[in-house]
Amino acid sequence: MRVKGREYRTVWMEAGRVMMIDQRLLPHRFKIIGLRSVDEVCDAIKSMAVRGAPAIGATGCYGMALAALTGEKTGKAYRRLLATRPTAYDLRDGLDYFLKAEGGPLERADRYADESSERCRMIGVHGARLIRDGMRVLTHCNAGAIACVDWGTALAPLRVAKSQGKSIHVWVDETRPRLQGAKLTSWELLQEGIPHTVIADNAAGHMMARGLVDLAIVGADRIAANGDVANKIGTYEKAVLARENGIPFYVAAPKTTFDPGCPSGKSIPIEERPQEEVAFVAGSDARGRLAKVRVMPLGSKCANPAFDITPAKYITGIITENGVFKPGKLK
């Protein structure tokens, strides 16, 4: 992805450190951080300096490379990295790839990142065929380049559609509690020059009912064998509303997100994240400094499930690097 005139990936390795865009600071600040230990990589994943299933997968793979290069036992590193986030399946894929691959540690991780980036590019190529000139496309959370190594999953078809000269408009669900739509998707679409409008998550159904949404595309954190999809909390709501309003609802994900060992969404663990993500909202203050505000009274508690399950019946198709498939029909 191009930021301030330079090409970046979400995560890479440089001078023995795992480097990444610190996504906790976006869109207010663009900063690269360098991690020197598996500990630091685990913290970066848990605290969501890096997030998005394919990006976590690649970060896990680079974490394994870092373990190998710094002399940490890979078995221990594997277990610790795997425990950082329970829902995204790509994490396991990235860790397993490292163990099975040949070549030096950096070579293996770089190859995983290259392949991951190429998978997303192909999702863009296949997905762009679904997008017609003038379409208004709803997306939820951030499934863009910074949720992957590059290109994105849900946003890749939009990038390719734009490069084909199609005029599109994107409705961006802000995606509480962490606001990855308002903060990250809008930032990416600004970089790409793609017209977009941010809406409260509550407004998505209204926009659909008013006939203002032609298509919905979201990413995925894990896809079960029967086609049920775990993705950012709220995805299920938008999928039900899309079906109710006759709007095609697509999931874009590489094969690394498929968990063939998982029979249905019921078997996918749903991460419960800290209450503070609901009780506080982070952003920038009037001087552009990072700040957060409390939005509820002391004494009230919150629940914060980070993902939900969208049953296969609500999903029109899954866009992968190999084409568009009916959910449950993936090989």
Residues designated catalytic: 221
Eight-state DSSP code of residue 169: E
d(CA 231, CA 253): 11
Q: Nearest Cα to 18, choosing from 37, 46, 31?
A: 37
Q: CB of residue 2 vs a second copy: minimum separation in angstroms? A: 16
Burial label for 297, CB within 10 Å (0-12, 13-18, 19+), is exposed
Query: Does 179 help bind a second copy (rule: CB under 8 A)?
Result: yes
DSSP per-residue letters across 265-293 = GGGS--PBPPTHHHHEEEEE-TTS-EEEE
Query: Site size for a second copy, by CB under 8 A?
Result: 60
Query: Does 232 help bind a second copy (rule: CB under 8 A)?
Result: yes
Query: Does 244 help bind a second copy (rule: CB under 8 A)?
Result: yes
Residues from 302 through 321 that contact a second copy (CB under 8 A): 302-305, 308-309
d(CA 220, CA 324): 15
Residue 73 is encoded by which pair of tokens? 């036992």
Complex with a second copy: residue 65 or 278, whichever CB lies closer:
278
Candidates 15-23, 36-44, 232-240, 255-263 — which segment interacts with a second copy by CB under 8 A?
Answer: 232-240
Complex with a second copy: residue 69 or 212, whichever CB lies closer:
212
Complex with a second copy: residue 19 or 203, whichever CB lies closer:
203
Residue 99 is encoded by which pair of tokens? 């163990």
Complex with a second copy: residue 8 or 98, whichever CB lies closer:
8
Query: Does 330 help bind a second copy (rule: CB under 8 A)?
Result: no
Query: Does 202 help bind a second copy (rule: CB under 8 A)?
Result: yes
Query: Does 190 help bind a second copy (rule: CB under 8 A)?
Result: yes
Query: Does 199 help bind a second copy (rule: CB under 8 A)?
Result: yes
Q: Nearest Cα to 196, choosing from 154, 138, 143, 152?
A: 138
Residue type, 47: S
Q: CB of residue 22 vs a second copy: minimum separation in angstroms? A: 16
Complex with a second copy: residue 6 or 301, whichever CB lies closer:
301
Query: Does 211 help bind a second copy (rule: CB under 8 A)?
Result: no
d(CA 192, CA 162): 9
d(CA 84, CA 80): 7
Backbone angles phi, psi at 244, to 5 degrees: -60, -30
Question: CB within 8 A of 226, min separation 6: which ones?
Answer: 263, 264, 265, 312, 327, 328
d(CA 319, CA 267): 22
Query: Does 294 help bind a second copy (rule: CB under 8 A)?
Result: yes
Query: Does 123 help bind a second copy (rule: CB under 8 A)?
Result: no
Query: Does 48 help bind a second copy (rule: CB under 8 A)?
Result: no
Query: Does 283 help bind a second copy (rule: CB under 8 A)?
Result: yes
d(CA 95, CA 86): 14
Task: Give the pairing of strands 280-284 and 290-294.
Answer: antiparallel
Considering only 24, 108, 196, 222, the residue that binds a second copy (CB under 8 A) is: 196
Give how far Cα 236 sits from Cα of 51, 165, 291, 306, Å: 20, 31, 31, 12
Query: Does 204 help bind a second copy (rule: CB under 8 A)?
Result: yes
Query: Does 299 help bind a second copy (rule: CB under 8 A)?
Result: yes
Considering only 207, 215, 218, 268, the residue that binds a second copy (CB under 8 A) is: 207
Residues that bind a second copy (CB under 8 A): 27-28, 172, 174-177, 179, 182-183, 186-187, 189-190, 196-207, 209, 232-234, 236-237, 240-241, 244, 270, 278-285, 291-297, 299-305, 308-309
